[in-house]
Structure 1
Amino acid sequence: MTVELIEEDMRQALFGAAQAPPPQVTIHDPMAHIPDVVIVPQAVRARKKKPSKAFTPRMRVTLQVGNEFEGVTQTYVHEADTISRLLAEQEAVKVARKKYRYVEVVSVKAIG
């Protein structure tokens, strides 16, 4: 039983009845209806928000400083913006060494 099928019969068997060709779609130019000059209203300036004061951890370093060896000393207090005691101490000693020759750390405390 050999039945010769033509190409059109095979297409009909696979895809169903012949359909009308899809309608042609025209694409409109979106720039056609836009005028050459566009008036944009002036934007309302937004107020600049002030940055909120975030909590910054601080350390208070108390030093005994002086320019004479075993001589008269003064108390020097330095506040550092860090949570590390070591960094706060190093920063305070570095600042104090610019003015004083002998520096001794007395205490390092966290400020609430």
Structure 2
Amino acid sequence: MNENLSEEEMRQALFGTTNNDAVLEAPDLRVMSDQQHVSKARPAPTSRSPKLKVTLRVTAEFEGKAEMFVYEASTLSSLIAEQEAKAEAKKRKFKYFELVSIESV
């Protein structure tokens, strides 16, 4: 075996005989257009915070006339939303609370 092979001889041994003159060029596949695409301006996203709607049945006196109290809390935690709703109902002089529902808005 000949240890002093040239680079060309090594290529021929590894890849077989190639014809350097017949190098094929890849065709240009880019799509050319006359008009430049302009995207429409998107409206600015409104910053909507997650909200829960808490519905409580509230009374000012025990076994008294019940009213429905609705509070919208800007949180995803139902526990915190319920606590905020009860605190708001206390500000409006209600003493007794019964949780009716907590819904995502």
Q: What's the TM-score, normalizing by structure 2?
A: 0.54
Which residue identity does 1:103 align to in structure 2? F
Q: Does 1:106 align with 2:97?
A: no
Q: Does 1:86 align with 2:92?
A: no
> Which digits, 9 at most, give the CA deviation of each residue in 1:74-106, with x for residues without a partner?
000000001111110110011101221111111
Which residue identity does 2:101 align to in structure 1? S
Q: Which of 95-104 and 71-80 deviates more?
A: 95-104
**Distance in 2 of aligned mates of 1:87 and 1:101:** 19
Give the aligned length.
61
Q: Does 1:68 align with 2:41?
A: no
Question: RMSD of the TM alignment (CA)?
Answer: 1.3
Larger radius of gyration: 1
Q: Taking every aligned residue pair, what percent have the same amino acid on both sides?
A: 43
Which residue identity does 2:96 align to in structure 1? Y
In structure 1, runs of 5+ residues without a counterpart are 1-50
In structure 2, runs of 5+ residues without a counterpart are 1-43
Deviation for aligned residue 1:55: 2.3
Q: Which runs of 4+ in 1 moved over 3 A?
A: none
The answer to which structure has the higher helix fraction is: 2
**Distance in 1 of aligned mates of 2:49 and 2:91:** 26
Q: What's the TM-score, normalizing by structure 1?
A: 0.51
